[in-house]
Structure 1
Amino acid sequence: MGYLRKVEYKIIQKDSYKIIRNCSGCGCKATYINTRKFRVNANGKYLDIWLIYQCEKCKHTYNLSIYERIKVTDISKFEYDKFLMNDLQFALDYGKNKQLFLKNKADIDWESIDYYIIGDDMEFKQGDYITVCNSQQLKIRTDKLVANILHISRSKAKLLEKDGTIEIMYNYFEGIIEILIKRELI
């Protein structure tokens, strides 16, 4: 089948991941947010660098490890200065680095991820092929994503997939979601 149009979208994460962890201040599980500040500790010729997270309720802190016991010579002057200056964009970038959270075994709050979708706002027809790049592999409900792009309700999106009007395919390794509109949307 030939496609009428191939339309591309991209999912962009707005803010840092939030962490769910036990808070000794609150005495229960709590949500920790990125303070956008770093803690740098020098011990002789070694450095430890953390991104500071803070409990939303009681302000108790948690240090998310970026570097542990690295030699001062193993980090660039540019990067080191960014840590010392608490560069906001640098802290935001580290707060979106999923590998950093995996390395620290931090429990990401997937329900609170704020994102937006970049792409053309248009009416779709039979034969349209939509690709959505989710390079950060955010855990987003497919029905919610399809509903946002097609400007329909989530229940309608589920129904369209169930009755074969749209077909949704996943490529998890590349972070791509493909939507093929097989019949006219009603």
Structure 2
Amino acid sequence: MLPWVVRRTRLPLLSLRCAHCRAESATTGRGRFRVNANGRRLDVWLLVACVSCDRTSKLTVHERAPVRSIGPAELHGYRVNDPELMASTLLDPLLARRNRFALDWTGAWRLETPPARLGEAWPVQVEVAFDDPVPVRPERLIAHGLGLSRNQVRRRIKCGIPLHRPTSAGFTFTVMAGD
């Protein structure tokens, strides 16, 4: 079984309407949090900037949360702008739903495949794993990885999931011998 891995190369852009220029433009994380304390309550925002006009906006991470409800390590990560915490926060589907944005993964991932073995016996089984929740159509991923057209993929690939629907979960497929 050949292992393929889909890896993130950078954080995805956000599809979010800019409050200043009113364009449906992609925004990108600045890599900064803003933490505001009001008594025993905390507000935490993730700062993002519009690609078009560079205006900064805030995405709500925690709103009026009791101080004790946020762990000390997480709170420290917010205060020092921890890059790993920023990435995991940005990739959180609950944050996207609450702040009404979608992730644009175009150009933000790569497929790592082992070198092709020309003398390998057919059929060949491939296991695809995802390091991050990159939504990609299996049909396009397989075509890219094998250098085939999508029609050839439909003819030569046996897979247990629909090839035309985006997925971000690992899957396996079998490549049958060519015509």
TM-score (structure 2 length as normaliser): 0.82
The 2-side partners of 1:174 and 1:25 are apart by: 33
The 2-side partners of 1:98 and 1:118 are apart by: 25
CA contact (8 A) 2:13 2:26 kept: yes
**Corresponding residue to 1:175 among 169, 173, 178:** 169
The alpha carbon displacement at 1:97 in A equals 2.9
CA contact (8 A) 1:12 1:118 kept: yes
Could you say which residue in structure 1 is the equivalent of 2:115? Answer: 121
- Does 1:46 find its partner at 2:41? yes
Letter in 1 for 2:158: E
- Does 1:158 find its partner at 2:150? yes
The 1-side partners of 2:114 and 2:62 are apart by: 40
- Does 1:91 find its partner at 2:86? yes
Distance 1:9 1:104, change over 3 A: same
TM-score (structure 1 length as normaliser): 0.80
Taking only the aligned residue pairs, the percentage that are identical comes to 20
**Corresponding residue to 1:21 among 9, 16, 28:** 16
The alpha carbon displacement at 1:13 in A equals 1.8
The alpha carbon displacement at 1:37 in A equals 0.3
CA contact (8 A) 2:137 2:167 kept: no
**Partner-residue secondary structure (3-state), 2:75:** helix
CA contact (8 A) 1:11 1:132 kept: yes
Could you say which residue in structure 2 is the equivalent of 1:32? Answer: 27
CA contact (8 A) 2:42 2:65 kept: yes
**Partner-residue secondary structure (3-state), 2:84:** helix
The 2-side partners of 1:25 and 1:67 are apart by: 23
Structure 1 runs not aligned, ≥5 long: 1-5
**Corresponding residue to 1:142 among 133, 138, 142:** 138
- Does 1:10 find its partner at 2:5? yes
Q: CA RMSD in A?
A: 2.5
Could you say which residue in structure 2 is the equivalent of 1:3? Answer: none
The 2-side partners of 1:179 and 1:104 are apart by: 36
- Structure 1 consecutive aligned stretches of length 4 or more whose deviation exceeds 4 Å: 171-174
